[in-house]
Structure 1
């Protein structure tokens, strides 16, 4: 049977995308219906988005692809594997080291994938004669529901996308086009009775299967949340200083996962179990240089040091006390407050009291004073 023009174009796009390192290429119609948008509205109404104000601000544009661009007819969904060489969970036992989410152990995937998407989109535009737009994560696009409709995978009980071919470890990018391309079959849910991802969460961030309360999620707390981290979550954070992989790593479908083929997504050796002592010494310039090209850079040095201080407090490593103590003089109150908490976990009562007396004349922030009060109660 002779291929249609749309099928030929789709095949050519898929071939080019895979040559550039994408592992899966699927297509769905831009007419996705109203279900995903309704669920998004319910999520925001419940307050599960926390301080991510961009979610309610972009709610209507995000709720349907044609609200973002009314000329879109088809959406090409591309997946790129970033799987680790081994299960990252044993790294959590190295308490004097920081644990960084697998996806952030090398280059910023936004830049890497967007560049490759543009190459694929250019081919689509030149061959098809239609308009295109590319999006990676930061745009108001419901990537996961769209990817499920395209057959890339399904949203598991942890709300992340799971693939029968790639397991849990892959990035998504989308190309919106005004061209009409043949659609792939939507994927169905294969979670069955499994609850491992929900049981793995250290902070009970799932109110129910398929629902995530970001306000309790360690990835949100260490990356998106700017202020002090609530006490109830600090011990559960362990040594996680940027993101959390527990619900992803627990998924049995990872038996099909593969190690990343793209060199820029393979873990830097200095970001696998990096010593907290090293990071606690970073000033702003050192932080920016060390994490140049990394997604970690975007949270800024102070938020990163806050995370490292909480990890230090959970480390049981008294050798970190001098560096933690030095953070009591930091300009940022959130950093000082985290230092107080860490010292309350590392020091004996007499040492902690002497540190409080030494710093009391200079401390003016109410939140930090409250940390001291709670630490010495």
Structure 2
């Protein structure tokens, strides 16, 4: 059973939130905590921000040594808070609503004017105005990066959404990046992101002609499509979620093209199965591959390499090494380049595998990610001689 949502226009009124920061001299003559006239003028400016004719305000709340808090409400449903810190920081948060597709009553010009007037009133040397944050909109534009920085995408449509037995699946449309796949609200791949697919296939370093390849995951079909262009002997793709495949075929043609219209072709097969039992079977049968491409998940973000996500990662790594030929190559995504600790923990796990391996890594710009992304290339080391393959003379961990 699964639940799918196909979006039509509904009457939604998202909230628009604007933020203003000011730094004033706490020991100066225009400290609003000390000068009542300055505070009164300040309140008038904040009141005018949320309603041109002025808004009603609650009595300011004294927070003792932590400053004060003022609250303003307007007849149009807008409100604002004025927070003054004794160290010289003043913040104004204003919120208002507007019908879906319409702009709020407070425009960017109004906010810029209020910023200028408050700065002049307080004699501020520094002030900052943030863009509107839209909350509760039909199309949610906000997605965090791997290191938890907030990105506002230019999404203008929810193309598809469904809950499979495994995950939430969304495809959002971006005028800049095309259709974009998100799994459990995590960006996976957009139609602009051929850089990702080429990086996880070695960026031209490898010759796949006549070789056997195992893809773990890859439900968007991008890796399979790229491999089909270079005449491999056989490609097996293991993807657990049929709904991801179906959504990609219909809504991500710029990624998978026609490569998954049929799940089996003359030199490839897509198996809709959990990869773990299939890998176990391959190990028992002695089935081996020239290449294993792991497109399952990014390296987990945690303080220690423990927990279910790390256990799964280690299991996949160990099974993959067992089905990888002695001269084979294993490729996988890592995580954002800023996630240095997570990447180091992953590299530490490579030393604990049942066979000795070495690795190199590459940092690539994936357009829709808004951050640099790290990819790993891993190969077995000959335990008897301690030698690597001749074409793999890379320094451990080099780019």
TM-score by length of 2: 0.24
TM-score by length of 1: 0.25
Of Structure 1 and Structure 2, the greater strand share is in 2
Structure showing greater radius of gyration is: 2
